[in-house]
A and B are shown apart, each in its own frame.
Chain A
Amino acid sequence: MSRDNKTAHHLTYPRFLLSAFWRASEGSWVFYTWMTALTAIALVGAHAWALQLANGMAVTAMTDHVSWGLYIANFTFLVGLAAGGVMMVVPAYLYDDHDMHDVVIIGELLAVAALVMALLFVVVDLGRPDRFWHMLPGIGRFHWPISMLSWDVIVLNGYLLLNLHVCGYLIYTRYLGKKPDPRWYRPFVFLSIAWAFSIHTVTAFLYAGLGGRPFWNSALLAPRFLASAFVTGPAFIVLVLQIVRRTTRFTVPEGAIQRLLSILRVTVLVNLFMVASEIFTIFYSGGAHAAAGRYLFLGLHGHAELVPWIWTAISFNVLAAIVIHTPALYRDRRVLNAALILTFVGVWIEKGMGLIVPGFVPSTLHEIVPYAPSKAEWQVCAGVWAFGLMIFTVIMKVGLQAMTGEMRAPSAESDAHTINNDDHAEEAR
């Protein structure tokens, strides 16, 4: 920021924050209703979590047989959603897609919100969250580089910081009415592209590295995680872009939506292909190692708790794949949006409950102890999602208003730009 030595950041930054707080809490009745509803759900979740802490994790349906459940399922899914945002960053920065460049910040903001949720899901899964400091390097005993979980802590927090920096920097400079200095964010953007792949790879390695769990102990797990992440990310963002178009002054070029849909057309199929590969390996070779897969897809020894879940997931994904490849269907935005929701939910099931639970059923001693989340788990889960959506709404509100120039510092150099991020786009050219 050599050319604006005059900017007194110690004065403008607090004003920026105040302004952001003010704007984050301004809106229509729809906005207030949305935020109030989310607050209510988040409070229900917070209460359920507090009770879990007080009474022990026995309030969940988890057992020594199925020792991870809905929380870790959501954690896994949300890491994917965070990584999925990179499917906007790659076209915008590596392929100079200008339409995408105009809206890329939405992918970065999504990563922030999804990571906050993912980290919260880890916290609510801890038996002793009060001892989190044991993990801090220096004062605790951080088991790096041996434990994959220590890697995950690093990559998830690192990715959160990277995205906070890039978004925060862009939003703040837009607020000041200045051109963002590429040196302050481009290197971080490129780092974040590689980092996005790492967060989901490391999360897959958490499971894939466990020799005692044949269902997870597969080299396909990390590629499969990435493929499904690149389904949920673009699907969610296309839905969000349409909401942004209707509710804000931020311009969303159609090219960006079309690009995301072309990515989705490939990733949906790649994801289904990988699921099919897993199914082939399980059922053609058979044997004891296939027991978990058999339990998931067909049921085992009279237990079929997950069978309806996984076939729902697969049918949703197949249906979505058909829609987004059939012009007569996807030209109708309502049909397209329904398909996007279907595939989002499909992956949530497949990669959530459909991935975590069969790791534990049958158990390592081949006992079948079924698991279905308890009411407390559903409440905590809804609470974390509600809180994450609140964060997403607020940062989107502030971020987009800074981009359009609606939120400007009083001292901002007056310029004619009222359309979003044309400097941002110019810089890309």
Chain B
Amino acid sequence: MADAKDSTSATDTTVKRRVALKVLATTLGAGAFAKAIAPIQQFTASTNAQEWLQKHYRELSSRELREVLARLEAETKQKYGREVTIEDVRPQAGVQFAYALNLSVCIGCRRCVEACHQENNHDRASHNSYIRVLEMEQGSMDMERGRADYDHPVRDEGKFYLPVQCQQCENPPCTKVCPVEATWKEPDGIVVVDYNWCIGCRYCEAACPYHARRFNWRKPEVPAHEINPKQSYLSNRIRPQGVVEKCTFCLHKTRKGELPACLEACPTGARVFGNVLDPNSSIRWVLENKRVYVLKEELGTRPRFFYFFDK
């Protein structure tokens, strides 16, 4: 204010009046700002200090991880009213997962879509799922001629059906772009997201060529009795609002030797899943004996999800 005092025209009273007015205006402005951003309290109430300070999944010690899992279980109880167990299921040595899908057999019934929805505790209102099924024209592999919104009894004459989910690429464009390493490829080939580390920029969603990623546009809602209580940290636990999620080949099941939910639900046996390093596995047999292809091979993403026709 040295400046104002220097000015020869301004008397002490006008300066004082101006200072008073400015203080008043600033106070009013600050008050209005506080009022405008008040809804933030609702957001801060939904999170807490431990969550905010939580380290990246891969930096957690086993004790810290146990505490995180216990906290998440308690939070699920409190927010969703259901007792759940959240495990940390690690990849097994000597296992590389791959998936194959027989397009001659798939009838487009979307039971895999529904099974994914339930297994992975997806938001009920948006009917989210990691799988999208395209109804394709017989005689064309052009996805532009496919439709995901078909709504009639299947299978339809002259069509075939192409279910698409995360391709678990060898060279995943999605993990490359993440600015905070919140998503990465696990040693068994599964691409995962640390839902507690993701900042929600959705760059991975833009980078994925297969529409495999989903964003939690709002807090997922699942009625307590519909919640699948067998959960894991990197897969099907209920996701927080504002983060990205994706198919994990049901790692909470498959890493324990079970099959993914989408495969279990398939009524036609179109889906084949397993460890490619096991010479006796059916996935190995398919890869060795069928003429398999991958989606958008020209992009160099090297999917671990293969498609084939029987006839």
Binding site for B on A (CB under 8 A): 15, 18-19, 22-23, 25-26, 39, 43-44, 46-47, 49-51, 53-58, 60, 62-65, 67-68, 122, 125-132, 134-135, 140-143, 146-150, 153, 206, 209-213, 288, 291, 359-360, 362-367, 407, 409-410
Is there contact, CB below 8 Å, between B176 and A146?
A: yes
B142-167 interface code vs A (CB 8 A; 1 in, 0 out): 11101011000000000000001000
Contacts of B198-245 to chain A: CB distance below 8 A: 198-203, 205-211, 213-219, 240-244
B122-134 interface code vs A (CB 8 A; 1 in, 0 out): 0000000000101
Is there contact, CB below 8 Å, between A149 and B201?
A: yes
B2-23 interface code vs A (CB 8 A; 1 in, 0 out): 1110100000000000100010
Chain A residues with CB under 8 A of B213 = 64
A sample of 26 inter-chain contacts (CB < 8 A) reads A15-B2, A19-B2, A39-B29, A50-B36, A51-B39, A53-B43, A63-B217, A64-B214, A64-B215, A125-B201, A125-B202, A127-B198, A127-B199, A127-B242, A127-B243, A128-B199, A131-B198, A142-B180, A146-B176, A211-B300, A212-B208, A288-B144, A365-B164, A366-B144, A366-B146, A409-B2
Q: A143-B179, A210-B173 are in contact. Are A407 and B215 (CB under 8 A)?
A: no
Is there contact, CB below 8 Å, between B179 and A18?
A: no
B90 contacts partner chain A, Cβ-Cβ < 8 Å: no
Is there contact, CB below 8 Å, between B206 and A25?
A: no
Is there contact, CB below 8 Å, between A46 and B52?
A: no
Binding site for A on B (CB under 8 A): 1-4, 6, 18, 22, 25, 29, 32-33, 36-44, 47, 52, 56, 132, 134, 142-144, 146, 148-149, 164, 173, 176-182, 197-203, 205-211, 213-219, 240-244, 296, 299-301
Chain B residues with CB under 8 A of A365 = 132, 134, 143, 146, 148, 164, 210-211
Chain B residues with CB under 8 A of A131 = 52, 180, 197-200
Chain B residues with CB under 8 A of A125 = 201-202
Is there contact, CB below 8 Å, between A56 and B242?
A: yes
Excluding A57-B242, A213-B206, 18 further A-B contacts by CB distance (< 8 Å) are A39-B29, A54-B42, A54-B43, A64-B214, A68-B202, A127-B200, A131-B200, A135-B180, A150-B179, A211-B300, A212-B209, A212-B299, A288-B142, A364-B210, A365-B134, A407-B3, A410-B2, A410-B6
Q: How far is the CA of A147 from the CA of B199 in the complex (A)?
A: 14
Q: A135-B179, A212-B296 are in contact. Are A128 and B148 (CB under 8 A)?
A: no
Chain B residues with CB under 8 A of A410 = 2, 6
Chain B residues with CB under 8 A of A291 = 144
With both beta carbons as reference points, the residue of chain B lying nearest to A401 in the complex is identified as B3
Chain A residues with CB under 8 A of B182 = 134, 141
Q: How far is the CA of A100 from the CA of B182 in the complex (A)?
A: 46
Q: How far is the CA of A122 from the CA of B203 in the complex (A)?
A: 11
3 nearest interchain CB pairs?
A127-B200, A212-B209, A127-B242
Q: How far is the CA of A408 from the CA of B146 in the complex (A)?
A: 70
Measured between C-beta atoms, what is the minimum distance from A9 to chain B in Å?
15
Measured between C-beta atoms, what is the minimum distance from A137 to chain B in Å?
11
Chain B residues with CB under 8 A of A360 = 206
Chain B residues with CB under 8 A of A22 = 1, 3-4
Of A19, A132, A146, which contacts B199 at CB under 8 A? A132
Chain A residues with CB under 8 A of B208 = 212, 364
Measured between C-beta atoms, what is the minimum distance from A277 to chain B in Å?
23
Measured between C-beta atoms, what is the minimum distance from A321 to chain B in Å?
32
Q: How far is the CA of A67 from the CA of B216 in the complex (A)?
A: 11
Q: How far is the CA of A43 from the CA of B34 in the complex (A)?
A: 10
Most buried by A among B44, B240, B241: B241
Measured between C-beta atoms, what is the minimum distance from A146 to chain B in Å?
6
Chain A residues with CB under 8 A of B148 = 365, 367
Q: A67-B206, A68-B202, A142-B180 are in contact. Are A47 and B37 (CB under 8 A)?
A: yes
